[in-house]
């Protein structure tokens, strides 16, 4: 059972709380079981046969007292017992909540942590992404199980056991006969809910389909209207509704039979308990007080049995969810393997020596035999077709992926020896499609900092040429990003991502095509502002713009995973090759500066 | 799964008019309601009498008489009760669930159909999520309350009544004890429910936040890695989860406290009954069997009292849900045909197709202006255009320049605030919206497909199309080849929103859907997303076929589409700034020239696989 595994793994730190809940549930149910005994006692007193099934020290209190006083004592005892019982119950609920919420907390935070530390290659696969997305609802299901069903299973079982124990103590024969009905009902409930599995899934599926019909209709209302298909849509909806209602009816038909049956069963058990009680009384095997206590136990043992049966029967649904979560949690994180230990001071020189990279299941390497050395402070432009391996190459610089062959050195040190997080703190990387968090713009730019210095943020926004845009928003830097805030254009997102990277003084800066959605003039402005900064970082820019590449100290052309041309703009333009081809395309009309201006309609 | 939830003003007044309208939905189900009521009242009665007979007749009679004479007859009678209980429970569950289904489906269908009749502008204003929560979640809540809520209420009330009747007939004095306990419980109930509901809202809100944060953690994992935000993110996430945990624990405790207080009150009631009842027995003439009955009744008394308290609260939620559902149902469509037009051409769900004239395809915009909110801010200014039948018009310009406005007006998703649009020389308001839409094809920028098969999606343009027609349409737009390569050809499922197909394939299907409808006027909002050159070529061919012989308006992004158009309009800030053929506009060396050269370069870069 995966769900038990999850429970064991995440109980950490809450074992005492768990033991307390267990102990309390036992005490609580013991006190709960005293009340039927006290009520029985009252009847025993009235019957003139004051012996009862209560512990002898309690019986001793009643001994030799006036009947009215005894009755009053019973009443007081009931209230006192109830007070103890309910106080215990309150504490039990507190400890149970504390335990289960604690487990939920451990599970959620661990899941979050591990997903965030999954290897880059995992996060890049669309399928895994989907799996992880779905696991959010699985986590909720497991949490509901641990917080709701598990405590119910636990306390119902204990209640049944203690009640059964009390009954057996009063009269072994009577109770053995009556209690046979408990495992029968339990088995029926478990079997029933196991079998109903499919009906629940079926109705969920039909409901999902209906929602899809509504959703697709509303998102595609333009298409519906343009084809004047309103009537057709209404029919489609009605059919979906019909199918849903059919499943619902089917489920309710079965459910109502079960509830009708189990309700009838409960009454039948009570009747059995009662009839048997009468027979036992008449035979002299039971006195009236005992019989009353037994009736009350019988009445109160059926409900927990039904609950227990249902919960156990539905266990497999939560277990499936648990299994999916554990599949993700069991993937080793990128820090669990292959992390380095060195934390050298980084100046910014980079050297590739025969570096190759091959994806796990690939036949041919994506990158092969790269030899390149970049001096600290140098600016290098990488240019190449899509899929030529540029991004893979730069992803090695912050160890998002590790090269599979050759040597990659930073300031002469093997990169695999360097601690990953340390390395990433020194290598700034701006992605082509950066992710912004749903917080304010200021918080997004200052995301690496613990406190926000607005002046500093404004100055980096200025360098990234996005300050003006931001200040035009109604709330300026406090504008929220995402669903509840403003929708940013691709270019704005890229510039905010640049600003956030500039906040740190990275010794190595990589722009992974991160100016692609920004127009040429702004691109130039950003690069000029960057050049003016005091600290000179080693800068690597992936671009497809000649205007961007030409300002670099060196241009490196990548083709099919290896370097095909290296040189300055002037050198490469004179040689026959890919760079020159691009150059001539981009300058054919009126020089390079005209290329891609603000007129591109979809930028 | 909808994480949405509503917070309700718990002190809201009862809106009688609204409830009258809600209850009117129950009218057709009188029979069902009667069945439910009979069944549920039966259970209350059986449950009350079962205990009564067990203690009074059973306990008293047999113990007193000292033998089992008549015992089997008694047992048989009691078995009758058991059976009756089982059957009544089954019946009221079935009846309640039927009522729930009827109300839910009735309201949802009404809201859904009504939405179909609303104008396009309505859907511009409200998000899909907002509408879905009203058409499905709120209707579901109403259905639940009107069935199970009423069911619980009836059961609770009758059970209280039955128990009280029995108690009052036997011993008014002891019945009084219970009547003292009731108001106490009610007070506790009312007070605590508010606290509990507030906390459970808080827990749900925080849970939504936790899910959101988890989602963000996954989506932003790559960025977080490169900025080494793992610890900071984790810290932030832990804080939210921590808050959630505290709120959950607190919520559990309030919940527990509520039940414990009720339980203590209940125990107090039982204790009082034991003492006072016991004293009665002691003094006589009350029998101890009656005491047993009264103690049993006392334990049974609490559930209905709590039930009534719970339902009155739920009614407040239902009222809000009802308000929201009826708000949707009462929205009037903004664009409606004039009465005389409806008279002649019919409504959208009852069209009089015999009166529909054939559409030829000449389109005239005559000094058309348009602004939202009755023309306060004009997004299209004094626009005039004559298009002969079969000609193509390309609209180019930046996002928000007014290109979409022009086609939205043409499609009559909106109507001009000034000026008029004429089709075949007649103002299009003189004929019905349905008539226009039946003759007009519309291809969206991001193709919207419906779950279902490839065939279903193509036939969406012509519902009675044969398979041959579908195949013909697919062939006309070069979609046939890829369709045949799918696992089940034309019967392949496209997935939700078409997600099993590539962007390009979806595009081609939406073309096929448009071509099968054979519209005289075609509106094409060209996709901007970059696709590989090969697909691009196929799509260009498809567009060429699509436009042939139709009057067409294209919001164009691709050079080849633009270049081949009969007329190019460059739109900026709601006005046409350049107008002419490709050659003419290239001469001007203005905006169009710049656009063209940039795109030309981009195309070449793409051909080299650089972008």
Q: How confident is the model at residue A600 (pLDDT cuts 50, 70, 90)?
A: very low
CA–CA dist B51, B78 (Å, integer): 10
Enclosing H/E stretch for B440: strand B440-443
* Segments forming the whole domain that contains residue B253: 172-285
**Smallest Cα distance from A10 to chain B, Å:** 15
CA–CA dist A325, A107 (Å, integer): 10
pLDDT in tens, A60-88: 888 888 889 999 999 999 999 999 999 99
Please calculate the CA angle A407-A411-A414 and round it to the nearest 5 degrees: 30
Size of interface A-B (CB pairs under 8 A): 400
Nearest to B9 by CA among B263, B425, B310, B317: B317
Nearest to A317 by CA among A206, A204, A209: A204
Between the CA of residue B262 and those of A319, B163, B271, what are the distances in Å? 35, 19, 14
Does residue B67 sit in the same domain as residue B121?
yes
> For residue A566, is pLDDT > 90?
yes
Q: What is the CA radius of gyration of chain B?
A: 35
Tokens 């019919």 correspond to B346
Q: How many CB atoms lie within 10 A of CB B376?
A: 8
Residue B519 covered by a domain: no
Q: Which residues of chain A make contact with B121, given a CB cutoff of 8 A?
A: none
Residue B455 covered by a domain: no
Q: For residues A232 and A241, is the Cβ–Cβ distance under 8 A?
A: no
Q: How many CA atoms lie within 13 A of B465 on its CB side?
A: 24
- A350-594, CATH topology level: Rossmann fold (3.40.50)
Does residue B218 sit in the same domain as residue B327?
no
Q: For residues B71 and A271, is the Cβ–Cβ distance under 8 A?
A: no
Angle between helices B230-283 and B172-219 (to 10 degrees): 170
Please calculate the CA angle A187-A188-A190 and round it to the nearest 5 degrees: 65
CA–CA dist A474, A214 (Å, integer): 35
Quick one: tokens of A357? 């990279």
Q: For residues A222 and B412, is the Cβ–Cβ distance under 8 A?
A: no
**Smallest Cα distance from B434 to chain A, Å:** 6
pLDDT of residue A467: 92
Residue B386 covered by a domain: no
Q: Which residues of chain A make contact with B68, given a CB cutoff of 8 A?
A: 278-279, 282
> For residue B479, is pLDDT > 80?
yes
Q: How confident is the model at residue B340 (pLDDT cuts 50, 70, 90)?
A: confident
More confident residue, B109 or B217: B109
> For residue A603, is pLDDT > 60?
no
Residue B183 covered by a domain: yes
pLDDT of residue B531: 61
The strand ranges marked E within A508-549 are 508-512, 538-542
Helices (H), A48-180: 56-62, 67-116, 120-124, 126-144, 150-170, 172-179
Interface residue A410 vs chain B (CB under 8 A): no
Residue B13 covered by a domain: yes
Interface residue A386 vs chain B (CB under 8 A): yes
Q: For residues A41 and A289, is the Cβ–Cβ distance under 8 A?
A: yes
Residue B86 covered by a domain: yes
A96, A106, A116, A597: best to mutate for the B interface, most B CBs within 10 A:
A116
CA–CA dist B187, A243 (Å, integer): 45
> For residue A601, is pLDDT > 60?
no
Q: How confident is the model at residue B2 (pLDDT cuts 50, 70, 90)?
A: very low
Interface residue B496 vs chain A (CB under 8 A): yes
The strand ranges marked E within B461-593 are 521-525, 551-555, 567-572, 575-580
Q: For residues B486 and B545, is the Cβ–Cβ distance under 8 A?
A: no
Does residue B85 sit in the same domain as residue B73?
yes
Q: Is A405 left (phi over 0), alpha (psi -120 to 50) or beta?
A: beta
Does residue B132 sit in the same domain as residue B8?
yes
Interface residue B451 vs chain A (CB under 8 A): yes
Q: Which residues of chain A make contact with B249, given a CB cutoff of 8 A?
A: 94, 97-98, 101
Strand A562-567 to B521-525 pairing: unpaired
Q: What is the 3-state secondary structure (H, E, C) of A186-241?
A: HHHHHHHHHHHHHHHHHHHHHHHHHHHHHHHHHHCHHHHHHCCCHHHHHHHHHHHH
A49, A52, A75: best to mutate for the B interface, most B CBs within 10 A:
A75
Smallest CA–CA distance from A513 into chain B, residue: B611
Does residue B114 sit in the same domain as residue B90?
yes
Q: How confident is the model at residue B546 (pLDDT cuts 50, 70, 90)?
A: confident
Does residue B211 sit in the same domain as residue B237?
yes
A146: three-class secondary structure by DSSP: helix
What is the length of chain B? 611
pLDDT in tens, B287-307: 888 999 999 999 888 888 888
Tokens 């809540």 correspond to B141
What is the length of chain A? 603
**Smallest Cα distance from A68 to chain B, Å:** 7
Does residue B93 sit in the same domain as residue B72?
yes
**Smallest Cα distance from A137 to chain B, Å:** 8
Quick one: tokens of B115? 């939405």
B110, B114, B116, B442: best to mutate for the A interface, most A CBs within 10 A:
B116
Nearest to A107 by CA among A277, A386, A325, A294: A325
Quick one: tokens of A25? 């549930």
**B19: domain CATH number?**
1.20.1560.10
Smallest CA–CA distance from A383 into chain B, residue: B610
Does residue B55 sit in the same domain as residue B178?
no
Query: In b/e form, how buried is each residue of B131-150, taking b as 16+ CB within 10 angstroms?
Result: bbbbbbbbbbbbbbbbbbbb
Please calculate the CA angle B163-B164-B166 and round it to the nearest 5 degrees: 65
Q: How confident is the model at residue B437 (pLDDT cuts 50, 70, 90)?
A: confident
Enclosing H/E stretch for A390: helix A390-395
Q: How many domains does chain B have?
A: 2
Residue B185 covered by a domain: yes
For chain A, what is the largest distance between any 2 Cα atoms, rounded to a whole number of angstroms? Answer: 120
Q: Which of 64-123 (A) contact B at CB < 8 A?
A: 67-68, 71-72, 74-76, 78-79, 81-83, 85-87, 89-90, 93-94, 96-98, 101-102, 104-105, 108-109, 111-113, 115-118, 120, 123
CATH superfamily of A2-329: ABC transporter type 1, transmembrane domain (1.20.1560.10)
CA–CA dist B58, B69 (Å, integer): 11
pLDDT in tens, B141-157: 899 988 999 999 999 99
Query: What residues pair up with B426 in beta bridges, in sequence order?
Result: B423
Tokens 């009188």 correspond to B30
Quick one: tokens of B443? 């291809």
Query: In b/e form, how buried is each residue of A237-275, taking b as 16+ CB within 10 angstroms?
Result: beebbebbbebbeebbeebbbbbbbbbbbbbbbbbbbbb
Q: How confident is the model at residue A594 (pLDDT cuts 50, 70, 90)?
A: very low
More confident residue, B11 or A338: A338
Does residue B30 sit in the same domain as residue B101?
yes
Interface residue A331 vs chain B (CB under 8 A): no
> ipTM of the assembly?
0.85
**Smallest Cα distance from A135 to chain B, Å:** 10
pLDDT in tens, B78-94: 999 999 999 999 999 99
Tokens 């007979």 correspond to B53
User: Is the bond preceding residue B318 a cis peptide, omega within 30 degrees?
Assistant: no
pLDDT in tens, A238-279: 999 999 999 999 999 999 999 999 999 999 999 999 999 999
Q: Which long-range contacts (CB under 8 A, 24 or more apart) does A245-251 make?
A: A245/B101, A245/B105, A246/A206, A247/A199, A247/A202, A247/A203, A247/A206, A248/A203, A248/A206, A248/B97, A248/B101, A249/B97, A249/B98, A249/B101, A250/A199, A250/A202, A251/A196, A251/A199, A251/A200, A251/A202, A251/A203
pLDDT in tens, B202-258: 888 888 888 888 888 888 888 888 888 888 889 989 999 999 999 999 999 998 998
Interface residue B4 vs chain A (CB under 8 A): no
A589: three-class secondary structure by DSSP: coil
Q: How many CA atoms lie within 13 A of A365 on its CB side?
A: 17
Q: How many CB atoms lie within 10 A of CB B27?
A: 8
Burial category of A504 from C-beta neighbours within 10 Å (exposed 0-12, middle 13-18, buried 19 and up):
middle
- Cβ neighbors of A569 (< 8 A, separation 6 or more) are A546, A549, A550, A551, A552, A555
A419: three-class secondary structure by DSSP: coil
Nearest to B95 by CA among B158, B42, B139: B42
Nearest to A178 by CA among A63, A59, A286, A339: A286
B462: three-class secondary structure by DSSP: coil
Q: How many CB atoms lie within 10 A of CB B235?
A: 11
pTM of the model: 0.82
CA–CA dist B520, A527 (Å, integer): 52
pLDDT of residue B9: 64
Strand B426-427 to B418-423 pairing: antiparallel
Tokens 């022009």 correspond to B406
Does residue B2 sit in the same domain as residue B145?
yes
Q: Do B58 and A544 touch (CB under 8 A)?
A: no
Does residue B127 sit in the same domain as residue B2?
yes
Residue B374 covered by a domain: no
Q: What is the 3-state secondary structure (H, E, C) of B339-369?
A: HHHHHHHECCCCECHHHCCCCCCCEEEEEEE
Does residue B46 sit in the same domain as residue B8?
yes
Average pLDDT, chain A: 88
């Amino acid at each position: 059972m995966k769900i038990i595994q999850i429970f064991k793994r995440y109980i950490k730190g809450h074992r005492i709380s768990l033991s307390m809940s267990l102990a309390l549930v036992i005490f609580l149910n013991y006190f709960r079981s005293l009340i039927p005994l006290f009520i029985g006692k009252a009847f025993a007193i009235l019957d003139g046969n004051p012996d009862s099934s209560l512990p002898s020290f309690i019986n001793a209190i009643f001994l030799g007292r006036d009947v009215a006083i005894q009755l009053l004592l019973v009443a007081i005892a009931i209230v006192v017992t109830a007070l103890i019982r309910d106080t215990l119950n309150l504490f039990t609920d507190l400890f149970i909540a504390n335990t289960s919420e604690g487990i939920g907390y451990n599970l959620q935070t661990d899941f979050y942590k591990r997903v965030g530390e999954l290897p880059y290659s995992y996060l890049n696969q669309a399928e895994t992404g989907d799996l992880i997305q779905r696991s959010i609802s699985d986590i909720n299901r497991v949490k509901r199980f641990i917080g709701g069903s598990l405590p119910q299973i636990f306390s119902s079982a204990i209640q049944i056991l203690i009640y059964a124990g009390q009954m057996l103590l009063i009269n072994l024969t009577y109770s053995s006969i009556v209690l046979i009905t408990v495992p029968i009902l339990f088995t029926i409930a478990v079997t029933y809910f196991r079998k109903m599995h499919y009906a629940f899934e079926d109705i969920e599926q039909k409901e999902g389909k209906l929602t899809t019909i509504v959703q697709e209709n509303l998102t595609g209302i333009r298409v519906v209207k343009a084809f004047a298909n309103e009537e057709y849509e209404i029919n489609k909806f009605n059919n979906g509704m019909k199918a849903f209602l059919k499943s619902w009816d089917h489920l309710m038909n079965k459910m109502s039979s079960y509830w009708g049956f189990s309700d009838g069963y409960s009454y039948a058990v009570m009747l059995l308990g009662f009839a048997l009680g009468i027979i036992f009384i008449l035979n002299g095997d039971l006195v009236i007080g005992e019989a009353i206590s037994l009736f009350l136990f019988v009445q109160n043992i059926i409900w927990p049995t039904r609950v227990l049966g249902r919960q156990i029967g539905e266990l497999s649904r939560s277990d499936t969810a648990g299994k999916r979560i554990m599949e993700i949690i069991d993937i080793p994180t990128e820090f669990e393997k292959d992390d380095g230990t060195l934390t050298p001071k980084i100046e910014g020189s980079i050297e590739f020596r025969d570096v190759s990279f091959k994806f796990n299941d690939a036949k041919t390497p994506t990158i092969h035999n790269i030899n390149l050395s970049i001096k600290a402070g140098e600016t290098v432009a990488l240019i190449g077709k899509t899929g030529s391996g540029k991004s893979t190459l730069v992803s090695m610089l912050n160890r998002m992926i590790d090269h599979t062959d050759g040597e990659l050195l930073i300031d002469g040190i093997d990169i695999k020896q360097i601690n990953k997080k340390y390395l990433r703190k020194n290598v700034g990387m701006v992605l082509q499609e950066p992710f912004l968090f749903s917080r304010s713009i200021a918080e997004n730019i200052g995301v690496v900092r613990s406190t926000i210095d607005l002046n500093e943020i404004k100055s980096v926004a200025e360098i990234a040429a996005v300050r003006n845009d931001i200040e035009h928003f109604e709330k300026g830097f406090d504008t929220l990003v995402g669903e509840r805030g403003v929708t940013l254009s691709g270019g704005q997102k890229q510039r905010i991502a640049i600003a956030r990277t500039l906040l740190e003084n990275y010794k190595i800066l990589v722009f992974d095509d991160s100016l692609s959605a920004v127009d040429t003039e702004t691109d130039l402005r950003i690069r000029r502002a960057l050049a003016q900064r005091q600290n000179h970082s080693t800068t690597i820019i992936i671009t497809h713009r000649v205007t961007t590449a030409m300002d670099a100290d060196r241009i490196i052309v990548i083709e099919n995973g290896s370097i095909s041309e290296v040189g300055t703009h002037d050198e490469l333009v004179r040689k026959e090759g890919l760079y020159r081809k691009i150059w001539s395309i981009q300058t054919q009309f009126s020089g390079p500066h005209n290329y891609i201006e603000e007129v591109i309609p979809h930028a | 799964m909808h994480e949405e939830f509503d917070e309700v003003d718990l002190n809201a007044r009862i809106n009688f008019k609204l409830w009258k309208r809600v209850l009117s939905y129950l009218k057709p189900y009188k029979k069902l309601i009667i069945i439910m009521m009979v069944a549920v009242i039966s259970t209350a009665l059986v449950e009350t009498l079962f205990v009564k007979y067990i203690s009074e007749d059973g306990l008293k009679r047999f113990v007193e008489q000292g033998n089992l004479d008549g015992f089997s007859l008694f047992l048989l009678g009691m078995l009758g009760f058991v059976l009756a209980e089982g059957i009544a429970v089954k019946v009221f569950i079935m009846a309640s669930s039927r009522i729930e289904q009827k109300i839910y489906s009735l309201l949802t269908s009404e809201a859904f159909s009504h939405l179909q009749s609303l104008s396009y502008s309505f859907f511009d204003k409200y998000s899909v999520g907002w509408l879905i929560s009203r058409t499905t979640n709120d209707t579901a809540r109403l259905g639940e309350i009107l069935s199970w809520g009423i069911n619980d209420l009836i059961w609770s009330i009758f059970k209280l009544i039955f128990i009280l009747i029995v108690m009052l007939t036997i011993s008014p004095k002891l019945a009084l004890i219970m009547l003292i306990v009731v108001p106490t419980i009610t007070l506790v109930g009312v007070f605590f429910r508010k606290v509990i509901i507030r906390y459970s809202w808080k827990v749900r809100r925080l849970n939504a936040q936790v899910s959101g944060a988890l989602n963000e953690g996954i989506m932003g994992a790559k960025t977080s890695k490169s900025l080494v935000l793992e610890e900071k993110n984790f810290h932030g996430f832990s804080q939210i989860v921590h808050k959630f945990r505290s709120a959950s624990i607190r919520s559990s405790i309030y919940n527990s406290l509520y039940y414990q207080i009720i339980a203590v009150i209940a125990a107090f009631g039982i204790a009082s009954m034991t003492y006072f009842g016991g004293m009665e027995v002691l003094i006589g003439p009350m029998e101890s069997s009656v005491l047993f009955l009264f103690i049993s009744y006392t334990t049974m008394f609490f559930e209905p009292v709590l039930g009534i308290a719970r339902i009155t609260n739920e009614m407040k939620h239902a009222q809000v849900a009802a308000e929201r559902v009826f708000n949707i149902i009462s929205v009037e469509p903004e664009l409606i045909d004039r009465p005389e037009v409806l008279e002649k051409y019919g409504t959208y769900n009852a069209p009089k197709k015999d009166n529909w004239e054939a559409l030829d395809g000449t389109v005239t915009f005559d000094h058309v202006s348009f602004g939202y909110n009755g023309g306060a801010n004009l997004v299209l200014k004094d626009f005039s255009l004559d298009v002969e039948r079969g000609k193509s018009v390309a609209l180019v310009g930046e996002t928000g320049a007014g290109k979409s406005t022009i086609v939205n007006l043409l499609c009559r998703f909106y109507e001009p605030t000034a000026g008029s649009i004429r089709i075949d020389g007649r103002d299009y308001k003189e004929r019905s919206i349905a008539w226009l839409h039946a003759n007009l094809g519309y291809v969206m920028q991001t193709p919207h497909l419906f779950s279902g098969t490839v065939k279903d999606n193509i036939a969406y343009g012509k519902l009675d199309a044969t398979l041959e027609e579908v195949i013909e349409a697919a062939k006309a737009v070069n979609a046939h080849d890829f369709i045949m390569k799918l696992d089940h050809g034309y019967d392949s499922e496209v997935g939700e929103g078409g997600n099993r197909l590539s962007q390009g394939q979806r595009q081609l299907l939406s073309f096929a859907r448009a071509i099968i409808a054979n519209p005289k006027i075609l509106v094409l909002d060209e996709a901007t997303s970059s696709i590989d050159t090969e697909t691009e070529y196929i799509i260009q061919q498809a567009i060429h076929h699509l436009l042939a012989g139709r009057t067409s308006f294209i919001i164009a992004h691709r050079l080849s589409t633009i270049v081949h158009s009969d007329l190019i309009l460059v739109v900026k800030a709601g006005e046409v700034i350049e107008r002419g053929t490709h050659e003419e506009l290239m001469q001007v060396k203005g905006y169009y020239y710049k656009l063209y050269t940039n795109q030309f370069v981009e195309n070449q870069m793409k051909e080299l696989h650089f972008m």
